[in-house]
Amino acid sequence: MTELVQTLVRGLGSGCIYALLAVGFVIIYKSMRIISFAQPSLMLAGAVLVSYLATTVGFYAAVALAALGIAVLALGIERSTIRPLVGRPIFVIAIVTIGIDIVVRVIVNGFIGLDVRQVGDPWGLKTVSIGSVLIQQRHLAMIATTLVLVAVLFAFFRYTRLGLAMRAASFDQEAALAQGVSVGLVFATSWAMAGALAAVAGAFVGTGAGIDQLTWIIAFKALAAIILGGLDSLGGAVIGGLTVGVVESLVATYQQDWAPWLGQNFAVVSPYVLMMLVLLIRPYGLFGTPEVERV
């Protein structure tokens, strides 16, 4: 029982990282109908920025500054490379974001170096015990931060003018334009928000073990999360992210005993297996809207 609870909390913790990244993916998807494959590099850039800033201004301020910095970077990317491509096939834009990912990642990797970099978080691998259950402090921090951020985001989309504009633009871009919504502003905001979320996620990825040049692979699990939840559902992204985290952590704990033939580290690919299974049953994810096509 203790083991199960610990596994679940660990899963929720890492699930929060996926949820933050997934929400970023979904925000961009909702505004532009593309998936930004540049998110992994932005996440890594955020983590690296935190690791450099944390030594001078402390971890918390570093996370805030990194979120701001990566938001500006994402804004720049959107304005310089993505905006000129608006109207071209989504395929083209998606591939361009892969190109951006490569370029950003090369630069960021230069700053990581060949070793593992610590992000300077105050938690490390320290634990607190609740009853007989040992829980890592960083997982609690992740869950709390994600709860706050997601609540703020939902409030933003629900109660602010810009949030309403973004929802309108995502619902029907032309109608929104006709009503005076600045779609350009919507694009820019969505990229900035996704960048900031990726940076926060990156900082949390770095807690505990630190980051190295292969850390970016983690961000792709968020893709499995948004497929689970459906590409255009914010709530789905959060639930998908948490599900992916929990499943991964359950597999990591129990697979060696129950299904050793799947090989070591099967947990790493379990999100993708889960994603394929879900897609076989529901091609548009659990909460996505099926596309209705008119000719």
Partner 1 sequence: MTSLAEQTRTGAPPEPGGRRRSRAARGRPRLYLSYGQDMALLNTRPKRTAVIGLVILAALLPFSMPDDLLHLLALGFVATIGAIGLNLVTGYAGQISLGHAFFLGVGAYTAAVISGDPDGRTIGFGITFLPLWLLAAGLVAGLTGLVVAPLAVRLRGLYLAIVTLGLVFIGLHIFREWDSVTGGPGLGRPGAIPEMFGINFAVDGPAMTRDQKLYLLTLVLLLIFALPAANLARSKVGRAFAAVRDRDMAASIIGVSLTRYKLLAFAISSFYAGCAGALLTMVIGFFDPTSWNLQLSIEYLAMVLIGGAGTISGSIMGALFITLLPRLTRELPALMPFISDSVTDMPNVFQVETMLYGLLIIGFLIFEPRGLYGIWVRCRNYWRSWPFSY
Binds partner 1 (CB under 8 A): choice among 192, 193, 227, 244 = 227
Strand partners, 129: 134
Residue linked to tokens 């944390």 = 54
Contacts of 208 (CB under 8 A, 6+ apart): 121, 123, 124, 125, 136, 138
Residue pair 212/116 in contact by the 8 Å Cβ criterion: yes
**Under DSSP, is residue 128 helix (H, G, I), strand (E, B) or coil?**
strand
> Of 59 and 216, which CB lies nearer to partner 1 in the complex structure?
216
86 binds partner 1 (CB under 8 A): no
Stretch that binds partner 1, among 66-74, 105-113, 187-195, 244-252 (CB under 8 A): 105-113
User: How many binding residues for partner 1 (CB under 8 A)?
Assistant: 48
Binding mask 115-154 for partner 1 (x = CB under 8 A): ----------------------------------------
CB 234 within 8 A of CB 75: no
Identify whether the C-beta of residue 212 lies closer than 8 Å to the C-beta of residue 112: yes
Minimum separation from the CB atom of position 227 to partner 1 (A): 6
Shortest Cβ 127–partner 1 spacing (Å): 30
End-to-end CA distance of the chain: 55
Residue with structure tokens 């230069």? Answer: 110
Q: Which of 57, 86, 95, 134 binds partner 1 (CB under 8 A)?
A: 95
Residues in contact with partner 1 by the rule CB under 8 A:
34-35, 81, 84-85, 88, 90-92, 94-96, 98-103, 106-107, 109-110, 114, 217, 220, 223-224, 227, 231, 262-266, 268-269, 271-273, 275-276, 279-280, 283-284, 291, 293, 295
